[in-house]
């Protein structure tokens, strides 16, 4: 695995982040293992048209906790969501590194570990689950390296 600069999570969401997310959600290599709605890119475009930038975070956090995955100069390269599940105290983690050129650099592991810290220390989660498709070998390696079974 190649090493990249450290990844960190950022709650603030700006116009450039949404623009990147639209691009990522249109990339079949990024979305093939996601369970996102097929029209997620259109929904993000609608968000840009209908909401001022300070409201982006509010809209993206309506169903859970949403963070941009960043590295270097605060540039977003992906996102992480922590979504409450039907089980009390449990969250599902969803994570994406949208920049294909950065796959295999360890950013997902850093992002997942940061999100787990937020889930257990700040949200007081009892459990975090990751639903990973069996053919998504990179993601399986990532979650196992982060302590998932």
Torsion of CA 114, 120, 122, 124, to 10 degrees: 160
Q: Would residue 81 count as lying in a domain?
A: yes
Question: What confidence tens digit (pLDDT) does each residue in 60-74 have?
Answer: 999 999 999 998 778
Question: What confidence tens digit (pLDDT) does each residue in 28-56 have?
Answer: 999 999 988 788 999 999 999 999 999 99
Could you count the other beta carbons within 10 Å of the beta carbon of residue 127? 13
Q: Would residue 2 count as lying in a domain?
A: no
Partners of 102 in the beta sheet?
Answer: none
Contact between 94 and 129 (Cβ < 8 Å)? no
Contact between 100 and 106 (Cβ < 8 Å)? no
Q: How many domains does the chain have?
A: 1
Q: Would residue 1 count as lying in a domain?
A: no
CATH number where 44 lies: 3.40.630.30
What are 97's two structure tokens?
A: 């590194």
Task: Give residue 28's domain range.
Answer: 7-145
Of how many residues is the chain composed?
A: 149
Backbone dihedral angles phi then psi of residue 95, each to the nearest 5 degrees: -140, 145
Q: Would residue 45 count as lying in a domain?
A: yes
Name the least confident of 14-18, 72-76, 88-92.
72-76
Q: Would residue 39 count as lying in a domain?
A: yes
Q: Would residue 84 count as lying in a domain?
A: yes
pTM across the whole model: 0.92
The secondary structure of residue 118, as a DSSP letter, is I
């Amino acid at each position: 695995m190649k090493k990249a600069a450290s990844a960190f999570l950022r709650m603030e969401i700006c116009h450039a982040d949404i623009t990147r997310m639209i691009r990522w959600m249109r990339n079949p290599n990024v979305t093939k293992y996601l369970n996102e709605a097929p029209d997620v890119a259109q929904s993000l475009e609608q968000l840009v048209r209908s909401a001022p930038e300070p409201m982006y975070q509010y809209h993206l956090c309506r169903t859970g906790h949403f963070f941009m995955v960043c590295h270097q100069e605060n540039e977003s390269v992906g996102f992480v969501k922590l979504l409450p599940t039907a089980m009390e105290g449990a969250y599902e983690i969803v994570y994406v590194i949208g920049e294909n050129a950065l796959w295999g650099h360890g950013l997902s592991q850093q992002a997942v570990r940061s999100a787990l810290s937020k889930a257990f220390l700040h949200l007081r989660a009892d459990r975090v689950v990751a639903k990973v498709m069996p053919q998504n070998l990179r993601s399986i390696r990532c979650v196992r390296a982060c302590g998932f079974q």
